[in-house]
Structure 1
Amino acid sequence: MSDTTRIRIDLFAPTMPFRRFWRSTGFSPAELLLEPEMRQTLAYVGGVPNRGIEYMRVHYMLDLVTASSFGQYDWSRLDAAIDVMLEHRIRPFFELMGNPSYIYSDFNDVGQAHHWRDFMSEMAQRYQARYGADELRAWYFETWNEPDIWWKLGGETGFNNYYDACSEALKAVDPQLKLGGPGVARRIPPIFKSFLAHCDTGTNLFTGETGVRLDFISVHEKGAKKHAEDLTPNSLSIIRHEMMAVDYIREHHPRFAGLPFVNDECDPQIGWHLYHTWHGMPYFAGLAAKIVDQHQRLMIDGEGVDYEVLSNDNGFVGHWGHRTHLTYFGKRPVRAAQAEHKTDIAALEARRAEPEPFDLVKKPALSVMELLGLLSERRFDLGGQGLDPDRAGLGAIATALGRGEKPSGASVLLYNSVDRIWQSGESTVALDFSGLQPGAYALASFRIAHGKGDPFTVWEDLGAPDLPNAAELAAMRMAQEPVLSIEHLQIGGAKAEHELKLDMPLPSVALVALVRRDDNAPAAPSTPRISRFGGLNGENRVLFWEPAPYEGIQLFDVLGSAGESGPWQVINPVGLLSSVYLDSSVGAGFYRIRARDLFGRISAESGSVRAD
């Protein structure tokens, strides 16, 4: 029998700010944004609670712009791509990467550098007018992806000229727009050094001034090299290698030592297109939770790094073994991401004209982002409690819930994850909640483990169908949500205590929420809308809505009716954490959405949306 690890959560203990630095993902290439598979993916990703995924970093965005000559651009496809992102509450982490109709060839040519500056200025002005200055200031603008590999327009000097052009253009439109880079793939490569030196003490091509503004510094560090075998990711190596870059900055460019630091491809392994089965399994969820916790403990708390964004490239369209949030079922070939990618506009338009039917099923890789989204921005210090997650695998992040200065509850993320893919075992955790005030409480746990929130196992048990039928898809979707259990408590006496014991198999993730009942029931969701997609077994309708702000934990129900006057019936089999639902039954003519809390209190219903 395993020993019990006790974790004490004192609601009267002081809390500290907790930045949700992990709320970003990415994929390649940008043309996918105009295709139905990615539009449905964006609904799932953008529906994560509390904007748990807020940013998406997409390669080759500027390939969607076509050019008849320098200064003559067609922006319509890029407009549509950004529209679909913002429609689903996702903001661009905007790589200034791509080449309109491939008219740019060498930024050592000062004339081309000036044309690029004008192109960047036109882009910023266009989207400032289209979306507003405040929205644009919430974006990140970043250099060309991995210039130590993919930059072909003029070497280090050309890259610096390109950066000067981007900087001056954005600054002229709005000095508050954020720009940084260089997002290198290799460890402190020459272009990383030359770029930092240029920004620190180099000469700006356009102004002649010394130095160029730099708002954040980005790198890419992953957990395992590219390999066809199932190598085990080394999570601590990500931290060590990131700190090599931080230490280089502190030693050679101390003026930049306090800048925000970004790893915007913090993936388990190099090589999106390589197939690793554990990408579809609970192992991935535990690993993702551990990587977030390690960055908080070891880099932010331990090294004082201003760690602003930890992103990943989980946003692709792919199968169980690919590095994706959802698994794809359909006949369309899934292509590798970059591999000297060039956008073929004619081929894109042909695919859009004749879309292939498909279905998507959520993986634990996305479910863990839902659970991370339930953490608040006030954190309890769990130091000194005997946790040793980097060696033993069991770790925790505890945050406060409730309004006011003193928390009335807590949300605690537990994970059990070691750097060994096929290792098994189990730990027992006792969460000791203290400082509870008298009242009614709900104690809920959301679980991801083998057989819990684990649609891959269901798919395998079904015989691993390549093109599942309606019943098989329904079975997988029934299993894709984290498994929820709720206990209701009545606490009497001041500063009372309560214990919850959990078995944490290896690997697994659990989100435990202790919520005190107050007078604030959830408010009605709003703005439900429907997108239609051709599924493998008929039409799929994806509903997406705006949740009302809520301090506690809310779940959603989708109601369907043949007519607008009812009767209305709940059609989702389990409560939804995210504000998205796929209805494959398509029996309803109208839909409404409602929210409910962990006590079963139900909000008013949203307005109706008509299916046709």
Structure 2
Amino acid sequence: MEQFLEILLFLSFIFSTTIASVNIDINFRKESESRKKLPRFWTNTGFAPTQPIENAADFLESDDVNLNLEFIGSLPNNGIRNVRIHWLLNMISLSYSNGTQFPTLNFNRLDKFLWKLINDYRLNPTIEFMTTLKFKKLNTVIWEDFAYQVISRYIGRYGVKNVRKWKLETWNEPDLDGYNLLNFTNEEFIDYMKGISEGIKAVERQFSLNNTLKLRGPAGLFKDERKHKFCWGVLENCNKFPVKCPIDIITFHRKGNGNTADEVLNESLDLIEDFKKRFKNLTTLKYSNTEADPIKKWSEPRDFQSDSRYAVILTEIIFSHWQALYDGRMKNLESISHDNSFLNFYPNFFTQRTLLARFQMNNTTPKHVQFIQKPVFGVLGLIANLATHAGRVHTLNDKNISYLVTLNNRSESFYSCIVIWSHVNLKVFSNKSKTFDITIQNIIIGNSINLFYIGEGIDNRKTNPSAIFDRNSKPPFPDFSVFEEMRAAQDPTILVNPTKVVDGKIILNLRLMRPFVVVIRICDKNVTKPKKVFNLRLRRINSEEIVLFWSDSFYKERCLKTYEIFFKYLIDDDYKQIETRHIPFLNHQLKHTIPGCFKIRSRDIFDRVSKLSTKICFNET
């Protein structure tokens, strides 16, 4: 007999004067019938080294960059999977032997960087074939050899299975003087594109691959054809000679104007429609907006990038693209990426387009760095819980609230992750909002009886570390107590603790401040039990603080609630839990000076726990 589950969700906001009612009726039978596979097309980020570009290797080897990347890699369930780093290949050096045409490449620095990125941080690189290396001569053959050496080396080190998860892309925005540092002519750029493509094909022949390694490009702005002749020219040549086209996936950059999330999608749709009209031989190629940001200029300080407004607008950008993919307007969409893993600089700790707020603590001996997770980081962790399939995006109340139902595709157990978010217009935003009574009801889920649910979210009240920073007079060097207060507000809040569904009904009473993102997970007890976490690492921040990082399995039905930290003194035998705070992600910073050993375990919403991890030990030196 089919069971009915009714969720009643009441959200009210502070500073409110009026009440509006919104009723959300979710019928899982209908959602199941209309569901489509939901690819994780948004799990990408990017950044660029600081100037000068010739020092890119030094920048990428810095402690600040690596700690930033390690935090990004600590999002659960591959919340971020690929990192697109401009000038990454400047970590290679070259030399020539007497009379040789081809250079000898030294990969030592790149090898070490990629080893940490892949094995410790569990991230994949996007290899952009752009470099300022001093080649004696540049032509198709040299570029072919360069691409071949890079890819074949890392297939040899990591295997085809892993390297195929990487992304290979041509020169970033080649029409801009700030990137075209080799001063390509039209003919030279054509030689470059052909050479990179041929180098990839040579690798595929060597390893008996059949079009496994996809080349993406031309990573262009596609604006005025007179100024952006390289990116337009690539597609024109591909349209004339499709068999010889060097690229497999068309990449472009379309950002918004800083108003609403729809701007990014609409700009992309307009460009794609232009492609379809002009390049009829390229309509089968997939495409990717690799810089799908709400507004250009990452370093420009903007208040909305400090709090949940940026988190919500990123959520809207992602799900507007899903809706376009779902209804066929963007049927060839391969992925989107956001350029938001930069390192902010003083005095713009929260207001630049970053995932984390960096504090360079130059008032200590030795100097050190502290990171605080922004709400945008938290929301990427929340939507990492999405199920494998989804229906369309539903929009209610004059487009002020939307929701998406995702659910699994397995008959033996039930899993759903529902996302509800309030819309935000960055030009007219105000914290003063109406009170919303939201009712979710009529959920039909079949024969499952051992159901539990959990509610989590971010908003501008409970999860707003930048407000705490402001309230403390924006100190350039916050003390330990201010950092502790900000960290207490950096993670998504548990709005409703794990609760068993009784009599097919859930009632939630919540208080949030717009803009918000709420995630409700409903789990059948038949879902996979927690697995043992692995790759536990310890990073010393200063003489009194450390950060623990670890890795976890990917769950198609992620019903984990939290992680737990255990510690034992070196002379003791027993581990004891030392941290009772909610730990939703794969990192935790704590004050600790006593030698001993740590272990981690996970706990799900059914209170089932994993085995303790392998230990990592700490001493004063």
Residue 501 of structure 1 and its aligned partner are, at CA, apart by: 5.8
Q: Give the secondary-structure state (helix, strand or coil) at the position aligned to 1:165.
A: helix
* Residues 561 and 591, structure 1, Cα contact 8 Å, conserved in 2: yes
Aligned residue among 158, 164, 169 for 1:142: 169
Report the counterpart of residue 228 of structure 1 in structure 2. none
Aligned residue among 563, 575, 578 for 2:570: 563
Residue 244 of structure 1 and its aligned partner are, at CA, apart by: 2.2
Aligned residue among 198, 215, 219 for 2:237: 198
More relative contact order in 1 or in 2 (CA 8 Å, sep 6+)?
Answer: 2
Q: Does 1:515 align with 2:523?
A: yes
Report the counterpart of residue 444 of structure 1 in structure 2. 454
Name the CA shift for 1:471/1:355 in 2 (closer, same or farther; >3 Å): closer
Q: Does 1:404 align with 2:437?
A: no
Q: Does 1:248 align with 2:274?
A: yes
- Measured against aligned partners, the alpha-carbon deviations of 1:483-513 in whole angstroms (never above 9, x if no partner) come to 1021523434xxx454546555321111111
- Measured against aligned partners, the alpha-carbon deviations of 1:106-143 in whole angstroms (never above 9, x if no partner) come to xxx7x533222111111111111011111111111011
Residue 576 of structure 1 and its aligned partner are, at CA, apart by: 2.1
Residue 89 of structure 1 and its aligned partner are, at CA, apart by: 1.2
Report the Cα distance in structure 2 between the residues aligned to 1:9 and 1:237, rounded to whole angstroms.
29
Q: Give the secondary-structure state (helix, strand or coil) at the position aligned to 2:327.
A: helix
Name the CA shift for 1:517/1:183 in 2 (closer, same or farther; >3 Å): same
Q: Greater CA deviation, 373-382 or 475-484?
A: 373-382
How do residues 371-390 of structure 1 correspond to structure 2 at under 5 angstroms? 371-381=382-392, 383=394, 387=396
* Residues 522 and 550, structure 1, Cα contact 8 Å, conserved in 2: no
Q: Does 1:178 align with 2:210?
A: no
Q: Residue type of the partner of 1:10? A: N
Residue 433 of structure 1 and its aligned partner are, at CA, apart by: 5.1
Report the Cα distance in structure 1 between the residues aligned to 2:514 and 2:399, rounded to whole angstroms.
11
TM-score normalised according to structure 2 size: 0.85
Residue 164 of structure 1 and its aligned partner are, at CA, apart by: 0.6
Report the counterpart of residue 46 of structure 2 in structure 1. 26
Report the Cα distance in structure 2 between the residues aligned to 1:82 and 1:540, rounded to whole angstroms.
24
Aligned residue among 37, 40, 53 for 2:64: 37
Report the Cα distance in structure 2 between the residues aligned to 1:255 and 1:221, rounded to whole angstroms.
23
Q: Greater CA deviation, 160-169 or 508-517?
A: 508-517
Report the Cα distance in structure 2 between the residues aligned to 1:507 and 1:392, rounded to whole angstroms.
13
* Residues 529 and 545, structure 1, Cα contact 8 Å, conserved in 2: no
Name the CA shift for 1:211/1:521 in 2 (closer, same or farther; >3 Å): closer
Aligned residue among 399, 415, 432 for 2:441: 432
* Residues 547 and 587, structure 2, Cα contact 8 Å, conserved in 1: no
Q: Give the secondary-structure state (helix, strand or coil) at the position aligned to 2:23.
A: strand
* Residues 139 and 192, structure 2, Cα contact 8 Å, conserved in 1: no
Q: Does 1:151 align with 2:180?
A: yes
Report the counterpart of residue 20 of structure 2 in structure 1. 3
TM-score normalised according to structure 1 size: 0.86
* Residues 40 and 542, structure 1, Cα contact 8 Å, conserved in 2: no
Report the Cα distance in structure 2 between the residues aligned to 1:506 and 1:490, rounded to whole angstroms.
28
Name the CA shift for 1:604/1:505 in 2 (closer, same or farther; >3 Å): same
* Residues 592 and 605, structure 1, Cα contact 8 Å, conserved in 2: yes
* Residues 94 and 140, structure 1, Cα contact 8 Å, conserved in 2: yes
Q: Residue type of the partner of 1:55? A: N
Q: Give the secondary-structure state (helix, strand or coil) at the position aligned to 2:481.
A: helix
Report the Cα distance in structure 2 between the residues aligned to 1:501 and 1:527, rounded to whole angstroms.
38
Q: Residue type of the partner of 2:437? A: T
How do residues 35-114 of structure 1 correspond to structure 2 at under 5 angstroms? 35-69=62-96, 70-87=102-119, 88-100=121-133, 102-103=134-135, 112-114=139-141
Q: Give the secondary-structure state (helix, strand or coil) at the position aligned to 1:130.
A: helix
Report the Cα distance in structure 1 between the residues aligned to 2:467 and 2:571, rounded to whole angstroms.
39
Report the counterpart of residue 525 of structure 1 in structure 2. 533
Q: Does 1:317 align with 2:323?
A: no
Report the Cα distance in structure 2 between the residues aligned to 1:519 and 1:371, rounded to whole angstroms.
19
Report the Cα distance in structure 1 between the residues aligned to 2:413 and 2:127, rounded to whole angstroms.
37
How do residues 472-551 of structure 1 correspond to structure 2 at under 5 angstroms? 472-484=482-494, 485-492=496-503, 496=504, 498=506, 500=508, 502=510, 505-518=513-526, 520-533=528-541, 535=542, 538-547=544-553, 549=555, 551=557
* Residues 282 and 448, structure 1, Cα contact 8 Å, conserved in 2: yes
Residue 331 of structure 1 and its aligned partner are, at CA, apart by: 4.8
Q: Give the secondary-structure state (helix, strand or coil) at the position aligned to 2:382.
A: helix
Q: Residue type of the partner of 2:144? A: R
Q: Give the secondary-structure state (helix, strand or coil) at the position aligned to 2:201.
A: helix
Q: Give the secondary-structure state (helix, strand or coil) at the position aligned to 2:546.
A: strand
Report the Cα distance in structure 2 between the residues aligned to 1:214 and 1:248, rounded to whole angstroms.
18
Report the Cα distance in structure 1 between the residues aligned to 2:571 and 2:336, rounded to whole angstroms.
44
Residue 582 of structure 1 and its aligned partner are, at CA, apart by: 2.3
Report the Cα distance in structure 2 between the residues aligned to 1:37 and 1:68, rounded to whole angstroms.
30
Q: Greater CA deviation, 259-268 or 181-190?
A: 181-190
Report the Cα distance in structure 1 between the residues aligned to 2:507 and 2:545, rounded to whole angstroms.
47
Q: Give the secondary-structure state (helix, strand or coil) at the position aligned to 1:398.
A: strand
Report the counterpart of residue 159 of structure 2 in structure 1. 132
Q: Give the secondary-structure state (helix, strand or coil) at the position aligned to 1:439.
A: coil
Aligned residue among 456, 462, 469 for 2:479: 469
Name the CA shift for 1:508/1:124 in 2 (closer, same or farther; >3 Å): same
Q: Residue type of the partner of 2:497? A: I
How do residues 201-280 of structure 1 correspond to structure 2 at under 5 angstroms? 201-202=240-241, 211-224=244-257, 232-280=258-306
Residue 8 of structure 1 and its aligned partner are, at CA, apart by: 2.6
Q: Residue type of the partner of 2:122? A: R
Report the Cα distance in structure 1 between the residues aligned to 2:111 and 2:41, rounded to whole angstroms.
27
Q: Greater CA deviation, 568-577 or 146-155?
A: 568-577
Report the Cα distance in structure 2 between the residues aligned to 1:398 and 1:292, rounded to whole angstroms.
14
Q: Residue type of the partner of 1:161? A: D
Report the Cα distance in structure 2 between the residues aligned to 1:418 and 1:575, rounded to whole angstroms.
28
Report the Cα distance in structure 1 between the residues aligned to 2:490 and 2:162, rounded to whole angstroms.
33
Identity, in percent, stands at 22
Residue 539 of structure 1 and its aligned partner are, at CA, apart by: 4.4
- Measured against aligned partners, the alpha-carbon deviations of 1:569-610 in whole angstroms (never above 9, x if no partner) come to 334442222222223324352110101011322222112111
* Residues 304 and 426, structure 2, Cα contact 8 Å, conserved in 1: no
Q: Which runs of 5+ in 2 are unaligned?
A: 1-17, 50-55, 97-101, 205-210
Report the Cα distance in structure 1 between the residues aligned to 2:60 and 2:439, rounded to whole angstroms.
45
Report the counterpart of residue 344 of structure 1 in structure 2. none
* Residues 200 and 211, structure 1, Cα contact 8 Å, conserved in 2: no
Q: Residue type of the partner of 1:455? A: P
Name the CA shift for 1:548/1:587 in 2 (closer, same or farther; >3 Å): farther
Give me the CA root mean square deviation.
2.5
Q: Residue type of the partner of 1:387? A: L
Q: Residue type of the partner of 2:95? A: S
Residue 9 of structure 1 and its aligned partner are, at CA, apart by: 2.8
* Residues 264 and 293, structure 2, Cα contact 8 Å, conserved in 1: no
Q: Give the secondary-structure state (helix, strand or coil) at the position aligned to 1:114.
A: helix
How do residues 595-606 of structure 1 correspond to structure 2 at under 5 angstroms? 595-606=602-613
